[in-house]
Structure formats: structure tokens, C-alpha cells
Amino acid sequence: MSGARRALVTGASSGIGLEIARELSVLGYETILAVRSLERGAVAARDIASAGGGAPPEVMQVDFASPASIGAFAGELARRHPSLDVLVNNAGTWSMSRRETSEGVELVWATNQLGYFLTTELLKPLLLRAPRARVVNVASDLARDLDLADVSFKRRKYSPVSSYGQSKQANRMWTRAVARRFAGTNVTANSLHPGGVATGLFAKGGGLLAKLVGGLASLTGKTPKEGADTAVWLATSPEVEGRTGLFYVDRKARRCRFTNEAEEERLFAVCASMTGQGADPR
């Protein structure tokens, strides 16, 4: 069995995720690309290998909007590997119109927040078996409009900004709740804003607004490599060893305006219930 540190990056076939995976591979991590499309994942793995001169990263297929898919993925990962040193939750989506998963959950919430939540819950045993492990959650400064009574927009009027924004607010709040649950263990959890990054995320959602947002990012935003920097730093740097439950921008801890332990715990319970993990799976 290899003694190399092992890192999993979700949504790693393009954009920030691809660059995070690339940098972790360069730093010597056995990197696993968790992707929806095996074909795109294979292209990304070859790209990483050709740049670094090593073997291609492992590629695993998973749909982060599907609890069943995440469950199967986590089970297979546990069969292949005994532990996990780094988990980067990055997979995300944006949608111009309200769409539901087969479970009746609004798609952006299911992917961007419940996907982070369930992946982390199911991979806890692997994280706890590593000598030291880090959970890094890619959030955003575009955080707003979280309504825990209506996360699927069944009563509220849907908007793409509100949908995406509430998932990013939840990422930041949930990170603190999960950090409390890892307290006293070998695992830390932090979130970050990568900056305005020129990726294809918003364009994939379709519509004029998505094209405008994507176009603005391409003109004024960071490159995906620049956007990956803080995530890679949080995953690897000795400077943040033992630091947990914090929100970072450009490698600096920032006060998060959504800090509220009672609401964070309420959010955790909502996510646990929606993913079939019980009221509070500590």
C-alpha cells in the first residue's frame, strides 16, 4: 500500500476543481477526481498526468445531486482506500429555472449543499483514519437568501441568484457545524471564497443572465488556477494546521456575516433529514 497522502476533489473535470486536483497532484498527493462524466474525467486525468509527468489520477463517477449515487461512490471509495487525508468539496451547479431531482429537491440545493453534506458524512470514517485530515469547502461571497423553511423554493419565487446564493450561504454555515462535530479529532474543516473566477459554471445554467455573469467573470475574474490557490493552501499548508471552522478569502481568515450557532445547527439538522442521515448524525 502506498504511503502517499490521498486527496479527493469533487467536480474535478474542469474549472477550479481541475486546477485544485492538478496542484495537489504536483505536491505529491494521490489524487482522486470525483466527476459526473467519466469521459471528461479521463481527459482531465490525462491532462494532469501530462503536465506533472506522473501516472494519471484516479477517476470515479458520481452524481452529487443523487444521494444514491453518493452512497454508492462512498462505498466504492472505502473498498478501494483505507483512509483519506484531504476532501475538497467543490462540485456545484447553477440553474436559470427551478428544477427538481428525482427526490423532489431543488437541483442547486441538492448539488451544492446536500452533495457537500452527504459526501462528508459518508466519508467521515476514511477521514478519521488518516493521521491528520482536512475538509475544504469551496463556498462563495455570493451568499444570501437562505430560508431553511423553503430550501427547495416550493413556496418562494425561484431566482437563479437566490438559489445559488442560498447554497453558498449554507456552505459557509454548515462548515462551522461540521467543524464542531470534528472537534477533538484529527480532522479540520474550513470554507473559502475563491474569488470571481472565469469558469463555465454560470454559462452551463443557460439564459441571458448566466451568459452575462459568465462573460463578466471572464473579463474581470481570476483564472481557475488563481481561484484554486486558497483551496490548495487550506488543504496542504502547515500555516493552517489545527485551524478549523473558519472562512477564508485570498488565504486570509475573514469574519463571516452568517455566523450563528443556533442557525448552523438547524441547517445541519435540515440537511441530515433531507439526506436520510437522521436528525443529527454525530
Q: Catalytic positions, please? A: 164
Query: To which H or E segment does residue 31 belong?
Result: strand 30-35
Distance of CA 73 to the CA centre of its chain: 15
Give the alpha-carbon dihedral of 33, 35, 40, 45, to 10 degrees: 0
The torsion region of residue 142 among left (phi > 0), alpha (psi -120 to 50) and beta comes to beta
What residues does 192 pair with on adjacent strands? 138, 248
Burial 62-101 (b: 16+ CB within 10 A, else e): bbbbbbebbbebbeebbeebebbbbbbbbbbbbbbebeeb
Q: Which helix (H) or strand (E) holds 137?
A: strand 133-138
Query: Crossing angle of helices 208-220/160-181, nearest 10°?
Result: 60
